[in-house]
Amino acid sequence: MIASFLECCETLSNNGVVAIHTETVYGLAANALSEGAVRKIYELKGRPKQNPLIVHIFSSQDASKIAHTTSIFYKLSERFWPGPLSFVLPARENIPLLTRAGLPTVALRSPQSKVFRKTLESTGLFLAAPSANPSNRISPTNADHVIDGFKDNCPQILDGGDCHVGIESTVLDLTTNNPTILRPGPVGKAALENHLGIKVNSMPSEDLFLKKSPGMTSLHYAPLTPTFIFKDFKSLASRMIERNQVVLLPFKSFESKILRKEKVFSFADSNSLLEVSRKLYSKLHFVDKMKASSILTCLFPENDQLAVAINDRLRRTGKLICE
């Protein structure tokens, strides 16, 4: 369960697996250059082998050791690293095929979390680290979520408290003519375009592109409780809500707008999308424990790039209701 920093570093150096705090979500980390270590990640998560892993490195100076870098990569990493932005680049041969799911590309990120950065610096390793939860379940944003997810199979945890970003990184493909967002996240399209001065393509739908990025299966962040996502608040508010259903609204200010008062919760007390992002998975974990017959929630208006990322995660929690 919770282990000391030295214990976790020793485990990683011996090709073991450790759950580590990042600013996005807790990651299930292991030596990215060891096929045996990476296999342990897939086995513990029950993760499909065709789902690639993001490799975490200390800085952009490490990138050329495992990937073929570009001028755009260095321009963006100088601005957004360390932070919640991952780059897909052509892989060098020293990255095991298992780490990159048999692809000729590899995804790289330099995390902002002080705990994770200290681990990278102390071990000298490149660490593959998907979210520290059973595959397709709610991502963990604190150590308790990791323990609840794995139970008796829980690995050592390097606890760094709550994750202050709360959703997974933006994944940007730099192997195409124009940079292409494969997975929306905290770093939005507008911020990337403003810094580069060129067009950045939005997330494509082709399977070829989606395979390059983790977190893109149709059901990926799902509670155990059946979850239904309405296209907007109006659609949800007009729904006849059954007694044993639980409702999760965008903001606390919305609670007065529906007749139902019991088992009604919100993602954020304020009308801040940053608060929603930070608490998204934590609130899903909370209502999932209530053992309701189902969870009802709705998408956010997409007038902000962060709302696009939040909606992407919500769509993958259950069934979208388009009435």
Please write the tens of the pLDDT for every residue from 67-108: 999 999 999 999 999 999 999 999 999 999 999 999 999 999
Give the chain's mean pLDDT.
Answer: 95
CB atoms within 10 A of CB 168: 30
Which residue in this structure is represented by tokens 């189902």?
294
Please report, as a single letter, which amino acid is at residue 282: S
Those residues whose C-beta lies under 8 Å from the C-beta of residue 141, and which sit 6 or more positions away, are 25, 26, 162, 163, 166, 278, 281, 282
Give the CA radius of gyration of the chain: 19
Give residue 16's pLDDT: 99
What is the percent of the chain with per-residue pLDDT over 70, rounded to a whole number?
Answer: 96
pLDDT in tens, 119-130: 999 999 999 999
Structure tokens at 171: 């994944």
Q: How many CA atoms lie within 13 A of 48 on its CB side?
A: 10
In the three-class reduction of DSSP (H, G, I as helix; E, B as strand; rest coil), residue 29 is classed as: strand
* pLDDT for the residue 210: 54
pLDDT in tens, 14-26: 999 999 999 999 9
Overall residue count recorded for the chain in this entry? 323
Enumerate domains of the chain plus CATH numbers.
5-210 (3.90.870.10), 227-321 (3.40.50.11030)
Q: 101 with 38: CB under 8 angstroms?
A: no
E strand intervals along the chain: 18-20, 27-31, 54-56, 85-90, 105-109, 127-128, 156-158, 170-173, 180-183, 227-230, 245-251, 264-268, 294-298, 319-321
Q: What is the structure's pLDDT at 218?
A: 74
Which pLDDT does position 147 carry in this prediction?
98
In the predicted structure, residue 291 carries a pLDDT above the cut 70:
yes
3-state secondary structure of 294: strand
The one-letter code for the residue type at 237 is A
Q: By the 8 A CB rule, do 235 and 251 touch? A: no
CB 157 within 8 A of CB 244: no
At 16, the amino acid letter reads G
> Tens digits of per-residue pLDDT, 154-212?
999 999 999 999 999 999 999 988 999 999 999 999 999 999 999 999 876 555 445 77
Ramachandran class of 197: left when φ > 0, alpha when ψ lies in -120 to 50, beta otherwise: left
Which residues are registered as beta bridge partners of 248? 265, 297
pLDDT of residue 120: 99
Beta-carbon contacts of 153 under 8 Å, excluding residues fewer than 6 positions away, are 44
pLDDT at 118: 99
CB 317 within 8 A of CB 309: no
pTM given for the model: 0.95
